[in-house]
Chain A
Amino acid sequence: EAGVAQSPRYKIIEKRQSVAFWCNPISGHATLYWYQQILGQGPKLLIQFQNNGVVDDSQLPKDRFSAERLKGVDSTLKIQPAKLEDSAVYLCASSAGLAGVEQYFGPGTRLTVT
Chain B
Amino acid sequence: SQQGEEDPQALSIQEGENATMNCSYKTSINNLQWYRQNSGRGLVHLILIRSNEREKHSGRLRVTLDTSKKSSSLLITASRAADTASYFCAYDRAGTASKLTFGTGTRLQVTL
Looking at A31, A43, A98, A104, which has the most chain B CB atoms within 10 Å of its CB? Answer: A43
Please report A residues at the B interface, Cβ cutoff 8 Å: 31, 33, 41-45, 48, 50, 55-56, 91, 93, 95, 97-108
- Tell me the bound Cα distance from A55 to B30 in angstroms: 17
A-B contact count (CB 8 A): 62
A105-B43, A106-B42 given; name 16 further pairs at CB < 8 Å: A31-B98, A42-B3, A42-B4, A42-B102, A42-B103, A42-B104, A43-B43, A45-B101, A55-B97, A56-B99, A91-B43, A99-B92, A101-B48, A101-B98, A103-B100, A107-B42
Q: Mark each residue of chain B from 1 to 18: 1 if its CB lies under 8 Å from any CB of chain A, else 0.
A: 001100000000000000
Q: Is the CB of B43 within 8 A of A100?
A: no
B residues near A (Cβ < 8 Å) are 3-4, 30-31, 33, 35, 42-45, 48, 50, 88, 90, 92, 96-105
